Amino acid sequence: MDSQLLPDELAEQIVTTARTATGDSLRSVTYFTRSDFEQLYLREDLERDADLNTFVGHEWRGFRDTRNAYQTSELGEYRYTIRAFTNGYLLRVTGDRSGALITTDGLSMQSYDNIADAIEKMLAENPTRE
């Protein structure tokens, strides 16, 4: 993998973590910052025609809006978002400077929680190249 936004080792680690937790259910992995993004993995049976620029922009704004809206919630601190679509699911794990979008076929809630925990740690421990 020849990643431009983050160290190759971290890019591989994010994809491997997602792949290990989801198996054949993994559809894609996209890493993003406030100003750029990079698709790290796309399952070979999927088309490469998604408008990731618009998609990532919406998810970055959505993270900020969600975090701000729920900052005083009795539910506790916001951690991640899962979105359901006709053809799959999206997990958004975002920190202050970067995030990851993981798309999958259906998984258990525990699987999403495990992936989010691992990705959160990786993002917190590694600086971005912004």
3 falls within a domain: no
pLDDT in tens, 11-42: 899 999 999 888 889 999 999 887 888 899 99
Task: Report d(CA 42, CA 63) in Å as an integer.
Answer: 23
**Length in residues, the chain:** 130
Domain count, the chain: 1
Q: Is 46 part of a structural domain of the chain?
A: yes
Token pair of 70 as six digits: 């729920």
Is 82 within a domain? Answer: yes
47 token code pair = 């088309």
Q: How far is it, in rounded angstroms, from Cα 114 to Cα 20?
A: 11
130 within some domain: no
Distance between CA atoms of residues 26 and 95, nearest Å: 22
Domain that residue 58 falls in: 8-125
Residue 95 placed within a domain: yes
Q: Which domain CATH number covers 19?
A: 3.30.450.30
Residue 44: inside a domain? yes
DSSP 85: E
For residues 65 and 120, give the distance between their C-alpha atoms in angstroms, rounded to a whole number.
19
Q: Tell me if 42 is assigned to some domain.
A: yes
Closest CA relative to residue 32, chosen from 92, 80, 84, 75: 92
Q: How confident is the model at residue 127 (pLDDT cuts 50, 70, 90)?
A: low
Segment 48-71 shows an average pLDDT of 71
- Tell whether 2 is covered by a domain: no
Q: What is the mean pLDDT of the chain?
A: 82
